[in-house]
Structure 1
Amino acid sequence: MFRTALRNVLAHKARLLMTTLAVLLGVAFVSGTLVFTSTVSEAFQRSSEEGLTHVDVAVRPDNDSEAAEASPGDAANLPQELLDEVAALPGVASATGAVSGFAALADQDGDLVGAGWDTTGANYYAGPDGGAQDVRYPMAEGRAPERAGEIAIDSETAERTGYRVGDTARVSVDGPVREETITGVFTTDDGAVAAGGSLVLFDTATAQELWTAPGEYTQITLQAAPGTSQEALREAVAPLIPGDAEAITGERLAADQAESIEQATSGMRTALLAFAGISLFVGVFIIANTFTMLVAQRTRELALLRAVGASRRQVTRSVLIEALVVGTVAGLAGFASGIGIAAGLRSLMGSLDITIPEGPLLIPASAVIASVVVGVVVTMLAAYLPARRAAKIPPVAAMSSIHAAPTARGLLVRNAIGAVISAGGGALVLAGIGADDNRGATMGLGAALLVIGVFVLTPLLSRPVIAAAAPLLRLGGVSGRLARLNAVRNPRRTAATASALMIGLTLITGITVIADSMARSIDRMATESLRADYVVSMANFAPLSPEVESILAGQPGVTAITGLRMSPALVAGDPDPMDLVGVNGRSIGELTDLDFTAGSFEGLAGDRAVVDTDTAEDFGWSVGDSFPVTYEDGTAGELTVSGLYEGNMMISGIMMDAATLEPHMDRVTDMQVMLRTEGGAGDATRERLEAALGDNPAVQVQDREDISEDIAFMFTLMLNLLYGLLAMAVIVAVLGVINTLAMSVFERRQEIGMLRAIGLDRRATKRMVRLESVVIALFGGVLGVGLGVFFGWAVGELLSDVISTYELVLPWGRMAVFLALAGLVGVLAALWPARRAARLNMLAAIKAD
Structure 2
Amino acid sequence: MYPNLTPTLLALLGAAFAAAAFIAIRKPFLRRLALRQVSRRRTEAMLVVGGSVLGSAVIAAGLIVGDTLNYSVGQNAYQHLGPVDEIVDSSTLAAGAHAADLLAPLKHDPRVDGLMTVHMEQTAVASGISRAVPRAYTIEADFTQAAAFGAAGGPSGLSGTTPVPGQTVVNSDLATALHLKTGDPVTLYVFGQPVVEKVARIVPTRGLAGLGESNSDGTAFVAPGTFAAAAQAVPGAQPRTLTLVSNAGGVTSGDKLTASVTAEIRNLLGSSTGTQAAVQTPKHDVLKAARDAGNGMGSLFLFIGSFCIIVGVVLLMNIFVMLAEERKPEMGMLRAIGLKRSRLVRSFLIEGSVYALAASVLGVLLGIGVGRLAVVVAARIFRNGAGGGNSNSLSLVFHFTATSLVNALAMGFLIAFLTALVMSVRISRFNIIAAIRDLPAPGIAAMRTRTVVLCLAGSLLAAALSVPAVVGGRSVALYIWPTVAIMLAIPVLTRFAPPRAVYTATSFAVLAWTSLANTVRPHVFDTNSTATYIIMGCILIIASVILVSQNQETLLRPFRRGIERPTAGGLTARLAVTYPLARRFRTGALLMMYSLIVFTLVLLSVLNSMIQGTVSQGVSFATGGYALRLDYNPATPPDVVSSLGTSPFAGRVAAVAPLTVAPAKVQDLGPHGLGPANVTVVGLPGAVTRGDGFALMNHMAALGPDDRSAWRAVASDPRYVILDQYVAVQPGPAQTLYTSGDHVTLVDQATGRTEVKTIAGVMKTSAAFLGIGGRVAYPILMSDTAAKSEFGAQAVSSAALVTPAAGVSETSLAAELQGHYLTGGMVVTPIAQQVRQNYNATLGFFQLMQGFLILGLLIAVAGLGVVMVRAVRERRRTIGVLRALGYQARWIRGAFLGESALIATEGIVLGTTLSVFVSYLLFRNNAAFSGYEVGFSVPWIATFVITGIAFLASMAATYLPARKAAQTLPAVALRIVD
Q: Which TM-score bucket, shorter chain as reference? A: 0.7 to 0.9
CA distance in 1, matches of 2:851, 2:333: 48
Does residue 509 of the first structure (1) align with residue 577 of the second (2)?
A: no
CA distance in 1, matches of 2:587, 2:191: 62
SS at match of 1:561: strand
Contact kept in structure 2, 1:61 and 1:78, CA below 8 Å: no
Match of 1:457 among 537, 542, 547: 547
Deviation at residue 455 of structure 1 after TM alignment? 3.8
CA distance in 1, matches of 2:919, 2:634: 34
Deviation at residue 725 of structure 1 after TM alignment? 2.3
**CA-to-partner distance for each residue in 1:114-163, whole Å, 9 max, x for gaps?**
xx9xx873623139xx99989645367x973858xx86422365368642
**CA-to-partner distance for each residue in 1:317-350, whole Å, 9 max, x for gaps?**
3333332221122123323444555677778889
CA distance in 1, matches of 2:876, 2:636: 74
Match of 2:412 among 374, 385, 405: 374
Deviation at residue 679 of structure 1 after TM alignment? 1.6
Does residue 153 of the first structure (1) align with residue 170 of the second (2)?
A: yes
Contact kept in structure 1, 2:627 and 2:803, CA below 8 Å: yes
The 5 Å alignment of 1:599-618 reads none
Higher mean C-alpha displacement, 10-19 vs 102-111: 102-111
Match of 2:765 among 645, 649, 653: 649
Match of 1:121 among 122, 137, 161: 137
SS at match of 1:163: coil
CA distance in 1, matches of 2:169, 2:205: 12
2:494 aligned residue: none
1:815 aligned residue: 943
Match of 2:620 among 527, 551, 555: 527
Contact kept in structure 2, 1:531 and 1:592, CA below 8 Å: yes
2:220 aligned residue: 201
Cα gap change, 1:54 to 1:848, in 2 (>3 Å): closer
Contact kept in structure 2, 1:324 and 1:380, CA below 8 Å: no
Does residue 299 of the first structure (1) align with residue 328 of the second (2)?
A: yes
The 5 Å alignment of 1:60-79 reads 60=88, 79=96
Match of 1:493 among 563, 586, 608: 586
CA distance in 2, matches of 1:712, 1:90: 49
SS at match of 2:954: helix
Unpaired runs of 5+ in structure 2? 1-29, 150-155, 249-253, 275-280, 384-388, 446-496, 671-678, 725-738, 754-759, 770-778
2:23 aligned residue: none
Q: CA RMSD in A?
A: 5.9
1:677 aligned residue: 805
2:449 aligned residue: none
2:3 aligned residue: none
2:307 aligned residue: 278
SS at match of 1:381: helix
1:562 aligned residue: 656
CA distance in 2, matches of 1:175, 1:334: 58
Higher mean C-alpha displacement, 376-385 vs 102-111: 102-111
Cα gap change, 1:279 to 1:591, in 2 (>3 Å): closer
Deviation at residue 23 of structure 1 after TM alignment? 1.2
1:729 aligned residue: 856
Contact kept in structure 2, 1:536 and 1:700, CA below 8 Å: yes
Contact kept in structure 2, 1:775 and 1:826, CA below 8 Å: no
1:242 aligned residue: 270
The 5 Å alignment of 1:690-701 reads 692=820, 699=827
Cα gap change, 1:348 to 1:453, in 2 (>3 Å): closer
Higher mean C-alpha displacement, 761-770 vs 825-834: 761-770
1:66 aligned residue: none
Contact kept in structure 2, 1:51 and 1:191, CA below 8 Å: yes
Cα gap change, 1:391 to 1:89, in 2 (>3 Å): closer
Does residue 220 of the first structure (1) align with residue 244 of the second (2)?
A: yes
SS at match of 1:391: coil
Cα gap change, 1:523 to 1:665, in 2 (>3 Å): farther
2:512 aligned residue: 423
Does residue 414 of the first structure (1) align with residue 503 of the second (2)?
A: yes
2:402 aligned residue: 363
Contact kept in structure 2, 1:604 and 1:657, CA below 8 Å: no
CA distance in 1, matches of 2:510, 2:877: 39
* Superposition TM-score, scaled by structure 1 size: 0.74
Contact kept in structure 2, 1:766 and 1:838, CA below 8 Å: yes
* Superposition TM-score, scaled by structure 2 size: 0.65
CA distance in 2, matches of 1:731, 1:176: 62
Higher mean C-alpha displacement, 425-434 vs 186-195: 186-195
Deviation at residue 845 of structure 1 after TM alignment? 2.6
Match of 1:17 among 38, 41, 46: 46
Taking only the aligned residue pairs, the percentage that are identical comes to 18
Amino acid at match of 1:25: L
SS at match of 1:392: coil
1:393 aligned residue: 431
**CA-to-partner distance for each residue in 1:27-55, whole Å, 9 max, x for gaps?**
23334555675587679879957987766
Contact kept in structure 1, 2:81 and 2:208, CA below 8 Å: no
CA distance in 2, matches of 1:783, 1:544: 64
**CA-to-partner distance for each residue in 1:79-138, whole Å, 9 max, x for gaps?**
22221454588749974224668889899998999xx9xx873623139xx999896453
Does residue 778 of the first structure (1) align with residue 905 of the second (2)?
A: yes
**CA-to-partner distance for each residue in 1:808-841, whole Å, 9 max, x for gaps?**
3432222222221221221232233233223322
1:826 aligned residue: 954
CA distance in 2, matches of 1:680, 1:239: 54
1:27 aligned residue: 56
Contact kept in structure 1, 2:173 and 2:205, CA below 8 Å: no
Deviation at residue 435 of structure 1 after TM alignment? 3.9
Amino acid at match of 1:393: N
CA distance in 1, matches of 2:916, 2:267: 62
**CA-to-partner distance for each residue in 1:527-555, whole Å, 9 max, x for gaps?**
2686747333569x999965666665542
Cα gap change, 1:587 to 1:575, in 2 (>3 Å): closer
CA distance in 2, matches of 1:416, 1:39: 48
CA distance in 1, matches of 2:94, 2:548: 65
Does residue 384 of the first structure (1) align with residue 422 of the second (2)?
A: yes
Amino acid at match of 2:964: R
Amino acid at match of 1:459: S
2:117 aligned residue: 97
Contact kept in structure 2, 1:23 and 1:330, CA below 8 Å: yes
Deviation at residue 499 of structure 1 after TM alignment? 1.0
Contact kept in structure 2, 1:110 and 1:697, CA below 8 Å: no
1:836 aligned residue: 964
Match of 1:288 among 314, 317, 330: 317
Deviation at residue 285 of structure 1 after TM alignment? 0.8
Deviation at residue 734 of structure 1 after TM alignment? 1.9
CA distance in 1, matches of 2:714, 2:401: 61
**CA-to-partner distance for each residue in 1:275-304, whole Å, 9 max, x for gaps?**
443322111110111111222222222222
Match of 2:837 among 699, 710, 717: 710
Contact kept in structure 1, 2:364 and 2:405, CA below 8 Å: yes
Cα gap change, 1:827 to 1:304, in 2 (>3 Å): same
CA distance in 2, matches of 1:646, 1:425: 31
Cα gap change, 1:827 to 1:315, in 2 (>3 Å): same
Cα gap change, 1:581 to 1:765, in 2 (>3 Å): farther
The 5 Å alignment of 1:578-657 reads 581-583=683-685, 585=687, 589=691, 597=705, 648-650=764-766
SS at match of 1:434: coil
Cα gap change, 1:456 to 1:131, in 2 (>3 Å): closer
SS at match of 1:185: strand
**CA-to-partner distance for each residue in 1:668-719, whole Å, 9 max, x for gaps?**
4465523132325576666656655669999455375x46643541232121
2:465 aligned residue: none
